[in-house]
Structure 1
Amino acid sequence: MPWARAGEWTPDFPPPPRLRICLLRMKLARYLPFTNASRLRGLCSAIAREEAAVRARTDEQLREDWARLRAEAVRGGSGIPGARATTQAFAMLREAARRTTGMRPYDVQMEGALCMGTRMIAEMATGEGKTLVAGLAAAYLSLRGGGVHVATVNRYLAERDAEIIRPILDFFGITLGVLREKDNNDKKRLAYQADVTYGTGYEFGFDYLRDQLKLLGGRRQELGAELAGRLLGSATPGSDTVQRQARHAVVDEIDSVLIDEAVTPLIISPPSGTKNPSESAYLCADKLAERLEKDIDFELDVPRRLVALLPPGIKKVYTAEFRPPDPEVLTRAWHFYLEQALRARHCFELNAHYLVRKDKVEIIDENTGRGFADRKWREGLHQAVEAKEGASISPETLSEVSMSRQLFFRRYAHLCGMTGTARECAGEMRECYDLSIHYVERHRPLRLKYLPDRVFRTWDEKMAAYVQEICARHSTGQPILAGTRSVQRSEELAELLRAAGVDACVINARLDEQEAELVARAGELGRITIVTNMVGRGTDIKVQKEALELGGLMVLGQERYDSPRLDRQLAGRAGRQGEPGTARFFLSADDYLFANYGKKQGETIRRARAGAGGEVSPGLARLAQRVQREVEATQRALRRQTARHDEQFLKLKRHFAYT
């Protein structure tokens, strides 16, 4: 439609004149009075000046003032408070935080909340109190009505953050709901009816898809069936939906959700779509895959995780030698089973891409490092991995409905969020979501020191130096956070340290339930904590006073990630709130980054002149940055392709809606 732009809320009907004015005012609200950083800080000064008058008000008077602001915002039509009302609202929120929690939000925290209140992304460093900032922004957005969804990284953080912010919301009578995956529909519906609802981003998406399935079932009824159901007192299809149309979303670690997970679709696979698995077909394909030769029978693309049988291979798998035990049970062409078996063998690694727990395969989310028992690969790949590992082969599911995360979050009229690593994806955020990024200054100066990368020719040479540096730092009592890429790498490192006579605590997808407790102790004197990227987001590490005198937390990255944002997330665990800290990364030509995306650059490192222990010039670390830029460009192109697909889908939807 000509009045709608990409990334904006687009209702399923042409807007009336009043709504057009409201949409225009929403656009202007992003620029007036919040055009730039100076205007945001000017508002913070205005809030500080308002604070004395607000502090003189009683609790009951503050509640009455809040109710008046809400009534004015709703009565105004657009639901957008003016500059004066915004100043008053945030001054009252700051005072409520002081009275109920004993925490008076800093100016930088108010700046971050104001930024999100104007549909922007706030880039805030680790330890700057983003939990409180998100709560203040959600409370402010609740003035407009329509519901506010606060999406967190995981279930633990959703419940923890909700409890932290609850006293402030209760002070003003703002209702709060928390989504829990195992809750029944009645409990979820109650949570969604609240003014502010906390939950994980994927749970908001899955509940939306489940509701769409229920509504779709209602449309497929025969003529008169709905009326007959009402007369008989039975529930009508679609009446069991849990969500209401929320217009506001506050997303924690927004770059992870909107960028890293953008191409990972939300998929609902109901039990009714299951097939009876043919275990014999998967097991047979797994055994026969060993006899197929790379580059002769099949070609392999490990970075993209693709396998394709070549003509000689296709001919071979249909010979009597490769015949399946029972062709009648096959649900697709036989060579497809072989291709999936080859993908499972060559593209997916145990303890890197998945876990085997209680005879079941659990997928590890590579962006968060967490295991998910309820996720499955599609089109028989999950069953091929189960056959490879000798686990119980589960039923194959058929997806009934799916939706990209990009399309889901673009449904919100007011989308905003915060993260510590947004600047690298500023252009893409503007292009895909029409979101600007505002950098919020630190409350205290940064004292995190980055040491030069150490580069080695081989993995073994690097690991010898890596363990040696951990032991040397440990001997001084300095706490160490060792960042690894996968569960397998974390456990291998723990074994190497154990052999060197040093004990370490390991936090990975196997121990995700103990994450919060273990992370809380990572800053203790003399403690070594080995982590995967699941600890890179949403957690703070508090360092003991004695350890601060030794230089604070030392972060040692075992290798560089595919994205520099993930490197910054790991390094950012140290140096929180102006504390001292140090970060360093180790590289080798055998690292995953070079082996899968930069073979040429890896060979350059391998041929470089080396000193003692196989260490080469630290200047070669720039090759990793070059490969990271190439990987980012490839991933960006894939996300743009997904966005174009979404645009075509929306065009078709509008076409059929108006014809």
Structure 2
Amino acid sequence: MPGLRWGDYPERISARPERTGPGLSAALRTLADGAARLRSDARQSLLTAFAAQRRSFSRLDDAHFSAAVRTLRLALQQDGLHDRHIASALALAAVACERRLAMRIFDTQVIAAAIVLGNRLAEMATGEGKTCAVALAAASAALAGIPVHVVTANDYLVARDAELLQPVYTALGLTVGTALPGQQAQERRAAHRCDITYSTARELVFDYLRDGISRSRDPLQQRVSRFSGVAGAPLLLRGLCMAIIDEADSILIDEARVPFILSRSTGNEQESGYLSQSLDIARRLDVDADFRLDAATHAAHLTAPGRARVEALVQHCAAVWHNRLHREETISTALAAWHLYRRDRHYLVRDGKILIIDETSGRVADGRAWSRGLHQLIELKEGCAPTAAQETAAQITYQRFFSRYLRLGGLSGTLCESAGELRAQYGLAVRRVPLRCADRRKIMPTRLFPDSQALWRAVAQRIVELKRSGRPVLVGTAAVADSEALSICLNAAGVTHRVLNARHDRNEAGIVAHAGQRGAVTVATNMAGRGTDIALGAGVAELGGLHVICCQINTARRIDRQLAGRCARQGDPGSVETWLAADAPLFREVVPAAALRMVAARAASLASPFVRALAATAQRLVERRHVLERRRLHEHDQAMDRRLGFGGPLE
């Protein structure tokens, strides 16, 4: 496509990529071997051209550099992101980085940026400079006149990266904006009118859904208004021209199982009383006899005796209870709210409000609410004033949303495990970027403890030992409650430390900045697992670098690798060890109770390879279930497309 965007709201409306049949795998491997050689030759040609252009641009003073930017920008906007201009665009952006940030751009970052510009995903090891690689790609595309959305993992990174890189973009004559929660519509429009906009995926999705509602109100009237030059209601986005996704596997895989729903109030004031009654009834039912719990899917299922008991309990209630399907669905949701959703694990209570904790990031999901009455039921459970009942105004999945971008690429340190799914669902190939520095990370044995309390006591003792050496320690936990339980043990042992979780997130930048200093101890949830660059303090590398203790078994091995990637970055030394509790939620989900009791009883004597194998098996089972859930959601999207016969943001 040319550099400039097409239409008033450009986006791709097309079928999903077809999956590759299993019989083609051998042929594809043969082709891949040949393609790898071709890619190596192409990379070397790009790097040679880039180096020559960088030398040339580095010799220019500011005035001549700006003239070179204008000349290339005109060529890019005439020809588009053509191969003959890519090396020059990347070289200009690299020189701007070096002048404005005093950061040296390495060949690995250039390779990653070129992969992204080719509508692919780059696996780039943690600490190798993804932030600047994203900037190279975003600047090159923006110089071609393409509005670019840079999608990061959380609001903290949105603000941090946009502020850090603004001088670079300004030197290239580009504007940069941020779309963040709490902004007024006018602020958001201004951010999206910039050449490059930093945002989270969630903010972009909801802006797209809001635009979809505006565009669908009266399409004929909108066309007439545009034809006659009369301005209609201003939209937030300029379409879906290009997205560059940082931490791409988190967004495209981990967060792709749930549709995003734009809601509106139903105005039904009787709903609160009905839900309060359902919670009272749920408390009176007996587990196993009246209902069964499925922790894996966070669902409760009434048994036949349970359904009969519910029917008897509501016999003299209002007419709304006489609809059997509606009654049983509501009671099942109330049972899940009461038994399966845990405070400080799935949500926080702050200022009388329920705040959902995002499972993958460990952060508060601002503005997000559960649907089908679940949110109001949890509010009632915690004694909060229930919010108004909501109904769906529009919804879309990440799979459907990101497939609508005309250009799409991204980076992450953990992509190869999901390469097949990323190609099948999004048509995106994964390319691995070679390491710039040798990996000096030391992996230590994995240990298992009979329960969480034994684990926290042992971790506290281990930290006391490490603190004597002066090495900084980062401990990763699964939930707010876990991080605070460990904090209690550390206080009892007299260990000074900092806690980073969804409850203590206001000084995130300060906590991260201190985490690599001599003797620092930081306890964190998944908030420290992605996008967190922990710089080592003076003399820390000589002591062995940052030591990471992983005290959680995540739903995917990729997420474990993210936490381990906080240490031993860019050639620094570091070490990581995994200590687990037999009563971890993931073990309880997939390991039979009798087997888990046997494992817990022998935890202290189990060898590290056995513990690693047990954890890997549990993760594979959960990952397989999640893959099937995403596939079903993808197939539902395809069915919706076929039924509707056209695209559009509203589902």
Task: Identify whether the pair has TM-score above 0.5, normalized to the shorter chain.
Answer: yes
In structure 1, distance between residues paired with 2:392 and 2:585: 32
CA distance in 1, matches of 2:70, 2:189: 25
Q: Does 1:626 align with 2:617?
A: yes
Aligned to 2:69: 66
Deviation at 1:480, TM superposition (A): 0.9
The 1:270/1:280 distance shift into structure 2, 3 A limit, reads: closer
Aligned-partner Cα distance in 2 for 1:509–1:277 = 33
The answer (yes or no) to whether the contact 2:441–2:574 under 8 Å persists in 1 is: yes
- The 1:294–1:34 alpha-carbon spacing in structure 2 relative to 1, beyond 3 Å, is same
Q: 1:116 to 1:304 in 2, by over 3 A?
A: same
**Mapping of residues 37-48 of structure 1, within 5 Å:** 37-48=40-51
TM-superposed deviation, 1:524: 1.7
Distance in 2, Cα, partners of 1:656 & 1:119: 22
Query: Aligned pair in 2 of structure 1 residues 323, 356: CA closer, same or farther (>3 Å)?
Result: farther
Q: Which residue does 1:249 correspond to in 2? A: 243
| 1:34/1:118 contact within 8 Å kept | no
Q: CA contact under 8 A between 1:281 and 1:330: conserved in structure 2?
A: no
Alignment of 1:225-240 (within 5 A): 236=232, 239-240=233-234
What is the alpha-carbon distance in structure 1 between the residues aligned to residue 226 and residue 39 of structure 2? 56
1:514-566: CA deviation from partner (whole Å, max 9, x where unpaired): 21111111112222111000111111111212332221111111132111111
**1:501 CA drift (Å):** 2.4
Contact 2:352/2:385, CA 8 A, preserved across alignment:
yes
Q: Is 2:555 the counterpart of 1:562? A: yes
1:11 Cα shift? 4.1
| Deviation (angstroms), 1:624 | 0.9
Q: Residues of 1 paired with 2:606 and 2:620: CA distance?
A: 22
Q: Distance in 1 between matches of 2:443 and 2:616?
A: 15
> What are the Cα deviations for residues 88-119 of structure 1, in whole angstroms up to 9, with x where unaligned?
22222222222222223112111211121111
Q: In the alignment, which of 223, 247, 259 is matched to residue 265 of structure 1?
A: 259
The CA deviation at 1:333 is 3.2
Residue 131 and residue 328 in structure 1: after superposition, are their counterparts in 2 closer, same or farther (change >3 A)? same
Q: Secondary structure at the match of 2:390?
A: coil
Q: TM-score, normalised by structure 2?
A: 0.89
Partner of 1:21: none
Residue 184 (structure 2) aligns with:
184
Query: Does the 8 Å contact 2:147/2:194 carry over to 1?
Result: yes
Equivalents in 1 of 2:500, 2:123: separation in Å? 27
Read off the aligned partner of 1:570 and give its amino acid letter: L
1:53 to 56, 61, 68: 56
Larger displacement relative to structure 2 (440-449 or 354-363): 440-449
The alpha-carbon deviation at position 216 of structure 1 amounts to: 1.2
1:464-479 equivalence runs, <5 A? 464-479=457-472
CA contact (8 A) 1:152 1:253 kept: yes
Match status 1:341 vs 2:344: no
Q: For 1:318-333, what aligned pairs fall within 5 Å after superposition? A: 318-319=311-312, 321-322=313-314, 333=326
Q: What secondary structure does 1:372 align onto?
A: coil
| Offset at residue 250 of structure 1 (A) | 0.5
What is the letter of the counterpart of residue 155 of structure 1? D
| Partner residue of 1:643 out of 628, 634, 637 | 634
> 8 Å contact 1:457–1:605 — kept in the other structure?
no
Q: Percent identity?
A: 35
Q: Residue 343 of structure 1: CA displacement?
A: 0.3
Structure 1 position 163 matched with structure 2 position 174: no
**Offset at 1:228?**
9.8
Cα distance in 1 for partners of 2:316, 2:522 equals: 48
Alignment of 1:71-82 (within 5 A): 71-76=74-79, 79-82=80-83
Q: Deviations over 1:379-415 (max 9, x none)?
A: 1111111121111111111111000011101111211
Whether the 8 Å CA contact 2:299–2:333 is kept in 1: the answer is no
1:389 to 371, 382, 388: 382
Structure-1 separation of matches of 2:355 and 2:514:
27
Give the CA deviation at 1:609: 4.6
In structure 2, relative to structure 1, the CA distance for the partners of 1:509 and 1:579 (3 Å cut) is same
Aligned length: 619
Which one of the candidate residues 386, 392, 395 is aligned to 1:402?
395
Equivalent of residue 369 in structure 2, options 362, 365, 376: 376
